[in-house]
Chain A
């Protein structure tokens, strides 16, 4: 971020030392970040990013820093993630992205909350029934982290609108609910040169893989049998209980963070299949 006259001095005046493990950081509270944003006519994300670039730490990220560092946090704040689907996986993934401090979260989902979503969808509650998932999710994310810019698309992501949504996106999280839509998303991501983190659930089972442009990814799955409507999996029999969407979201967001930061070993070229019922834990070479 460009230098803003007086901002660094104001941040340093507000910063207080705080020990975390063997390290000590000069931290700025949320209240001070918000006040400085108002005073300098900036967003809190701009102030937080500037602070991180100057070696100062917005206190809200203190517990992230031992793992991803100041540079990593600044990088996440300047990153853009597209979340396709704001249901079971999507609701939890959205919250995790915001808490990690991914700066721009673009969310696409055409649906409103209905009663059958209450068992598992993160932001679904009695008062939200009938409301647009992207609107409710966006409002909750801004309460969780005002540094995040949330862009809402109240539409079903498809081949006609995905190229626009994928422009300038750094990573995609697949939180859809049909095999056909997921395949279309993979193709669009590949065309746009964007990494897609796939996750799906059924009953106590989940699967996650990270697909780079040109990878086989989901295309090597056995072709779904012809059926009316969009092809789905065994979840039509098992349902989707509360636990697995959250766990899939956890793994997917961690994968997305690794992709954004260029760290760690990802699930590229292999699919994790996990069943919580009996601790089946398989890595399938794709």
Chain B
């Protein structure tokens, strides 16, 4: 399946391999969930605060579907 992915700038160089753009399309096996997508991106869970699917915050086990718009927001807690 193909999804439209948007990644917060702060996370670009935390992915493995590093990402070159904040917005791109990504091909994933059908049935991939949020945790599987983060794993495929090489992003450590501890750096990710929210993943939204079509603008709605979604848990790690949420299924992603073909054509979804997915955004990855970092975990931030500085004060």
Q: Do B57 and A284 touch (CB < 8 A)?
A: yes
Interface size for B (C-beta < 8 A) is 28
Q: Do A225 and B76 touch (CB < 8 A)?
A: no
Q: Do A222 and B59 touch (CB < 8 A)?
A: yes
Known contacts: A225-B44, A285-B55. The answer to whether A233 contacts B76 by CB under 8 A is yes
Further 8 A-B residue pairs, CB within 8 A, beyond A201-B79, A237-B47: A89-B79, A205-B9, A221-B49, A222-B60, A234-B76, A273-B73, A280-B8, A284-B55
Q: Majority SS of interface residues in chain A?
A: mixed
Tell which of A174, A176, A178, A220 touches B57, judged by Cβ atoms closer than 8 Å: A220
Q: Hey, which bits of chain B sit against chain A, CB under 8 A? A: 8-11, 14, 22, 44-52, 55-57, 59-60, 71, 73-79
Known contacts: A222-B50, A222-B60, A273-B8. The answer to whether A202 contacts B77 by CB under 8 A is yes
Q: Do A232 and B14 touch (CB < 8 A)?
A: no
Q: Which of B14, B51, B77 has the most CB of A within 10 A?
A: B77
Please classify how large the interface on chain A is, using the bins under 10, 10 to 19, 20 to 34, 35 or more. Answer: 35 or more
Task: Answer yes or no: A118 CB below 8 A from chain B CBs.
Answer: no
What are 16 A-B residue pairs whose CB atoms fall within 8 Å in the complex?
A202-B77, A205-B9, A222-B45, A222-B50, A222-B51, A233-B76, A234-B76, A235-B78, A237-B47, A240-B79, A244-B78, A273-B8, A273-B73, A282-B73, A284-B56, A284-B73
Tell which of A206, A232, A280 touches B9, judged by Cβ atoms closer than 8 Å: A280
CB distance from A277 to the nearest CB of B (A): 5
Q: Do B79 and A234 touch (CB < 8 A)?
A: no
Tell which of B50, B59, B74 touches A271, judged by Cβ atoms closer than 8 Å: B50
Chain B residue at minimum C-beta to C-beta distance from A181: B77
Known contacts: A220-B57, A237-B14, A271-B50. The answer to whether A85 contacts B75 by CB under 8 A is no
